[in-house]
Structure 1
Amino acid sequence: MGNATITAWCAAGESGDAAAAAVCLAPEVELISPLTAQFRFHGPAAVTDVLASAFEVISDIRFHTQVGEGDTWALFYRGRVKAEELEEAQLLRLNKDGLIREITFFGRPLPALTEVMAGIGPRLLRRQRQPILARIVGLATGPLTAMAKSGEKRILPRADPARKRDTQR
């Protein structure tokens, strides 16, 4: 049943369908976020809220690699968040019934991750009926997103090992 769950999970992600993804979740599911170590999401309802918020922010999801067997799978996809390209890895662990009991997300590059955080956080908090905290999180993530984008476009290209250096100085 593991392969059927993985196939259904990928199809749900590519279509942005949180309800279809929820069918793949075990009652004891736990989601480990790449964005914070402060807490985890427990149970299908909480994880589905995260997925619904994510699917509002991340578009054009296309899984390109699956590695695994039995109860442990690693999935990789490319997508977009606003103008940023995103690549995410997902470590999935299945229970004895073949349903997802643990999800760990890993993402890159940093500008895309900060866009994801700025988009998902407020949406998720509004779903949890915390509009004031949603506003605060939205405002707090703005400078981080701006710094990540600026560094990626203006500073990091100067550190490219393939860039020609002026050796006369």
Structure 2
Amino acid sequence: MSVDPTETRRRFRAAVEAGDNAAAVATFAPDIVLRSPIIVGQFEGRQAVGDLMAAVIETFEDLHYTAEAAADDGTQILAFSARVRGREIDAVDLVRVNDEGLISEFVVHIRPMAGLAAVAAVLGPRIARGPVSRALVRLFAGPLAVLLALVDPLVPRLVRTRAG
């Protein structure tokens, strides 16, 4: 690899922390693929992933990175926390950098489920293809986010979280 992938990770992180979508997109390969936890498929290409990143930068509150590392295979790992509609989320980005030093693959993992539902409710309508799609996303994602927000505080009482 001609470019250190750690440097790409640092540039991406700095761009996101500064709220600079153009600088974040500048780290993306033209054929970038992003796998998101909010859809079954994937986002493909710099434009689609850039639009998603713009929505993330605009809607995630207090987004701050909490850890970063590199795996043995060169995969870059970034952990962050943020709030979405008042819900705390923790997330991990797994990023692969190509030989040109650009992000070619991006996989996002988010927890807890109520936080993921809030992310889907906020981002879904922003990235939907048109007015009908936006309405359908709102129709399904909004109530799911509300339901999970109501159930979330009960889960520790309903689920065994310790041995014994």
| Residue range with higher mean Cα deviation, 13-22 or 67-76 | 67-76
Q: Which residue of 1 aligns with 2:56?
A: 54
Q: Does 1:74 align with 2:77?
A: yes
C-alpha contact 1:14 1:60 (8 A) present in aligned 2? no
Q: Is the 8 A contact 2:120 2:141 kept in 1?
A: yes
Larger Rg: 1
**In structure 2, what is the Cα distance between the partners aligned to 1:35 and 1:112?**
11
Q: How many residues align?
A: 158
Unaligned runs of 5+ in 1: 164-169
Deviation at 1:142, TM superposition (A): 1.6
Q: What is the RMSD computed on CA atoms of the aligned residues?
A: 1.8
Q: 1:102 aligns with which of 95, 101, 105?
A: 105
Q: Percent identity?
A: 32
TM-score with structure 2 length normalisation?
A: 0.89
Residue 155 of structure 2 is matched in structure 1 by 156
Distance 1:122 1:73, change over 3 A: same
Q: In structure 2, what is the equivalent of residue 139 of structure 1? A: 139
Q: Is the 8 A contact 1:71 1:95 kept in 2?
A: no
The answer (yes or no) to whether the contact 2:60–2:83 under 8 Å persists in 1 is yes
Counterpart of 2:44 (choices 39, 42, 45) is 42
- Give how far 1:85 is off: 0.7
Counterpart contact for 2:59–2:122, Cα < 8 Å: yes
Query: Which residue type is aligned with residue 145 of structure 1?
Result: A
How far apart, in 2, do the equivalents of 1:34 and 1:21 lie?
20
How many angstroms does 1:26 deviate by?
A: 0.8
Distance 1:15 1:58 in 2: 13
